Amino acid sequence: MNDLSPFPRLAARLTRPGRIRLAKACVPVALLTDDVPDDARVDRNGSALVDILIEDGRIATITAALADGGDDTVALDGRHVWPLLIDAHAHLDKGHTMGRAPDSGGTHPGARAATTADRLAHWNAEDLLRRMEFGLATADAHGVAAIRTHLDSHEGQAEITWNAFAKVRERWKGRIVLQAAGLVPLDAYSGDYGARLADIVAGHGGLLGGVTRASGGTHGSGLDDIDLLLDQLFVLAKERELEVDLHVDEAAQADALPHVARAAIRHGYEGRVTCGHCCSLALLGERELRDTIALIADAGLSLITLPTVNMYLQDREAGRTPRWRGVTPVQELRAAGIPVASAGDNCRDPFFAYGDHDMLDTWRQAVRILHLDHPYADAPALAGPAPAGIMGIDAGTIGVGRPADLMILEAWSLDQVISRPHADRVILRKGMLANRALPSYSTLADFLTA
Ligand SMILES: [Zn+2]
């Protein structure tokens, strides 16, 4: 923050509990839990000018903006106010291994091999806790409300990782809501280990997950018995009342998604299955895409797009510039009423060398990559209400009675929200100033020589 920033003055007002009125806050309508208050002005971006009254950490009222004034008032003068955002697809167990893990070459097969080598060499409880804590402290500093992480759950690794996850979930309780899904290649469910893994997941209140490729294989090949494998997974899930979250078709050419949809219908799991990635949908012909989207809708699947990681891994060949974006057709899916969230996925690991667990940054990139603008319409929903719905949690929106978990941005329009990284955002948790410093990379310095 420089001396000209009004933020120190704003922030100083937000350190006392009690009653605070955020006057003239600009909130995207897509992020409001309830209808726009009567008489509130809505701008051309679809954002409403409102006063938000906070009492004892909760939002007491949201009304049309009135004149500034009053002892309890923090004048925002039309600055954007957002809820804390939700990352519904992450990999906290893989994160922050850059420098230590072998170089992946930036390809999907390379990333798998590099991750396997790093996992076998290093992933004990201490290492997992240290890297998960680094990731969570980073997300916390950026104002993330909730994360669903996938956890590599191979035989011999699962107990170690899930126990470490249980510890960080307990430690971050009340600050970041954490969910986890077990991640293994689909054929892991065909043997005895499938049931054991499902028991571990159930014991931790997790989700049954998997990736629609064979062990050691790539997306789009080697799963001739996919229907049988999906049946085994769904039976294990149903026996334990577990929701399902899968990595699906993370490639230009792959066709597991219709199989997943039909399995969800076969097992009565409509509305209980999330599919991440689904990149190959983008390269289907128009008619096939329409039919597949109709099937996804029938199956009640939710989709999560991971645009930063898809752009990094897809269509990569050494010495050749990528020709396609690698992202799923989000606009067509949303138009068909399918719940779609954007999420961060990998962070500084062999699957994605970059990232910082910043959902505002992920959303800003998603808008540009997926053309969710002109008009913006309800694009902000991808980072708040949509992932909240997928995770089944009360967060990611601004509404009366909700905790005042908010971000105040130095921006007066959505184009300004999207243009800058907003490293100077003010973060409120339960109505109190909650900004924390990012953890320093220096704490991971030993990885660079490992
Ligand atoms: Zn993933």
- What pLDDT was estimated at residue 14? 80
Residuewise pLDDT in 10s, the chain (450 residues): 445 555 666 777 787 778 899 999 999 999 999 999 999 999 999 999 999 999 999 999 999 998 766 778 899 999 999 999 999 999 999 999 999 999 999 999 999 999 999 999 999 999 999 999 999 999 999 999 999 999 999 999 999 999 999 999 999 999 999 999 999 999 999 889 999 999 999 999 999 999 988 777 777 776 779 999 999 999 999 999 999 999 999 999 999 999 999 999 999 999 999 999 999 999 999 999 999 999 999 999 999 999 999 999 999 999 999 999 999 999 999 999 999 999 999 999 999 999 999 999 999 999 999 999 999 999 999 999 999 999 999 999 999 999 999 999 999 999 999 999 999 999 999 999 999 999 999 999 998 865
Ligand 1 center–CA 346 separation, angstroms: 6
Which amino acid type is present at position 403? P
CA of 442 to the centre of ligand 1 (A): 26
pLDDT of residue 2: 47
Distance 245 CA to ligand 1 centre (A): 10
CA of 27 to the centre of ligand 1 (A): 30
Contact of 258 with 298, CB cutoff 8 Å: no
The pTM assigned to this predicted structure is 0.96
Nearest alpha carbon to residue 248 among 198, 200, 181, 323 = 181
Instruction: Tell me what pLDDT residue 215 has.
Output: 77
Cα-to-centroid distance, 356 and ligand 1 (Å): 15
Q: Which domains does the chain have, with CATH numbers?
A: 7-83+396-433 (2.30.40.10), 86-391 (3.20.20.140)
What pLDDT does 154 receive? 96
Just list the catalytic residues: 250
The β-bridge relationship of strands 302-305 and 273-277 is parallel
166 CA to centre of ligand 1 in angstroms: 20
The whole-number pLDDT of residue 1 equals 45
Distance 90 CA to ligand 1 centre (A): 6
